Amino acid sequence: MATGIIGVGHYLPEDILTNKDLEKMVDTTDEWIRTRTGIETRHIAKNEESTFDLAYQAAINALAHANIEAEQLDMILVATVTADQSFPSLACQLQAKLGASQASAMDISAACSGFIYGVITAKQFIDGGVYKNILVIGADKLSKITDWTDRNTCVLFGDGAGAAIVSEVSEDKGILSFELGADGSGGNALHQEDNKIRMNGREVFKFAVRKMPESAEKVVEKAGFTKSDVDYLIPHQANVRIMEAARERLGLPKKKMAYSVNKYGNTSAASIPISLSEDVHEGKIKDGDLIVLVGFGGGLTWGAMTLRWGK
């Protein structure tokens, strides 16, 4: 047996904030945001809607898609940088609400790379024969730590959650290779200060356009494939120009790359699982497809994997 993903789900809050809305809040234009980032709208959670609420909905959807009950979960991992409290963890709160009585639970802090860190952590427990089903969630409500007076950052982010059930799959499916990395010396380029996101956009951009393509290419090679074997790419949805760098390095046509940054902005740890879930449910990812997931984020961190889709 191998370790793969048997179900996915996602959730986005209802309210939509457009570039035109942002024009009224800071000195920016719809044109600037679209051409520099590819973002047109983002979903923003209401005040009373917490990161937990987003994560819970995504979890319910992933459990239903995998056709398993919460009692069958052995572990819950939540990748987030916006948990409602530092403790108890969001994962423990979910364990209670879902009724996942057999599951251990913890949060993972790796910013926008968190979902990939979570899936690869889950893989170790399943490969080792310790656990069978692990719920991995990427959930963030960045709007609560966004400085809505800072045009450098407030146009970029959105709220949302995505989830996956990591489990045993047949030998020819599942996760085939991965890479996780960190460079703490670059941490100041993207950090939280006085409870707000602070970013050196140019520094993060330089890091991301180098790391995402490099890491995507590396995991394809590690799995013993060539770029032409790749069917679909899911890059972290931060900025279309950074995503394009990864797509071009793999030589893929545009339609073979997940693209939701225009609708949702950068949803941090949620961006990759939201895209994965959306594209699986829309039939863009099919049984047997070789897909590459690749992300980068605060830390600085990065992560990538190749995955043969299916059970």
Closest separation in Å from C-beta 238 to ligand COA? 4
**Please, which residue, 32 or 225, has the CB nearer to ligand COA?**
32
202 forms part of the interface with ligand COA (CB under 6 A) = yes
In the residue annotation, 266 being an active-site residue is answered as yes
In the residue annotation, 281 being an active-site residue is answered as no
HSE at residue 230, side-chain half, CA atoms within 13 A, is 30
Contacts (CB under 6 A) with ligand COA, residues 99-158: 112, 151-152, 155-156
Here's the x/- map for ligand COA, 218-257, by CB under 6 A: it reads as: --------------------xx------------------
For helices 51-66 and 90-98, what crossing angle results, to 10°? 50
First-residue to last-residue Cα distance in the chain: 10
Q: Which residue is nearest to ligand COA (CB)?
A: 201
215 forms part of the interface with ligand COA (CB under 6 A) = no
Closest separation in Å from C-beta 36 to ligand COA? 4
Non-local (6+) Cβ contacts of 261 within 8 A are 37, 38, 39, 237, 238, 239, 240, 243, 271
DSSP 137-173: EEEEEGGGG--TT-HHHHTTB-EEEEEEEEEEE-TTS
In the residue annotation, 154 being an active-site residue is answered as no
Residue 81: count other Cβ atoms within 10 Å of its Cβ.
Answer: 23
**Please, which residue, 6 or 238, has the CB nearer to ligand COA?**
238
Residue among 3, 307, 274, 39 at smallest CA distance from 153 = 39
Q: Contact residues for ligand COA (CB under 6 A)?
A: 28, 32-33, 36-37, 112, 151-152, 155-156, 190, 199, 201-202, 204-205, 208, 238-239, 266, 297
Active site residues: 112, 236, 266
